[in-house]
Amino acid sequence: MAIQVEFKTSGKTAQWEDRYETLLDMMEANGIKVETECEAGICGTCKTRLLSGKVEMEVEDGLDEDDIEQNMILPCVATPVTDIVLEV
């Protein structure tokens, strides 16, 4: 089943496609701006709040405990597991 990704602040919803390696790829393809640096889950620059749904992340080094409590994710290493809503 197709996974929907909603970008709340940007007012956009798009369908996840297999060609995307990460949420960051998808955001760039949909014109959603996010600052990045390492693109490897380490620096935390890209962190974005997940409002609902579930993602998988290969690396979470860029998140501290507060970030995790606030549902921050790292789009540069994340892929959606369910339909998700991101704050951006």
Q: Which of 3, 14, 43, 88 touches ligand FES by CB under 6 A?
A: 43
What is the rounded CA–CA span in Å between residue 12 and residue 72?
A: 19
Tokens of 66: 């507060």
Neighbours of 9 (CB within 10 A): 10
Q: Is 45 among the residues that bind ligand FES (CB under 6 A)?
A: yes
Q: Is 80 among the residues that bind ligand FES (CB under 6 A)?
A: no
Q: Which of 6, 25, 28, 39 touches ligand FES by CB under 6 A?
A: 39
* Helix and strand counts by DSSP (H, E) for the chain: 2, 7
Rg (CA), the chain: 12
Q: Is 42 among the residues that bind ligand FES (CB under 6 A)?
A: yes
How far apart are CB 1 and ligand FES at their closest, in Å?
Answer: 28
Q: Which of 8, 10, 44, 88 touches ligand FES by CB under 6 A?
A: 44
What is the rounded CA–CA span in Å between residue 62 and residue 17?
A: 25
User: Which residues in this chain contact ligand FES in the complex, by CB under 6 A?
Assistant: 36-39, 41-46, 62, 74, 76
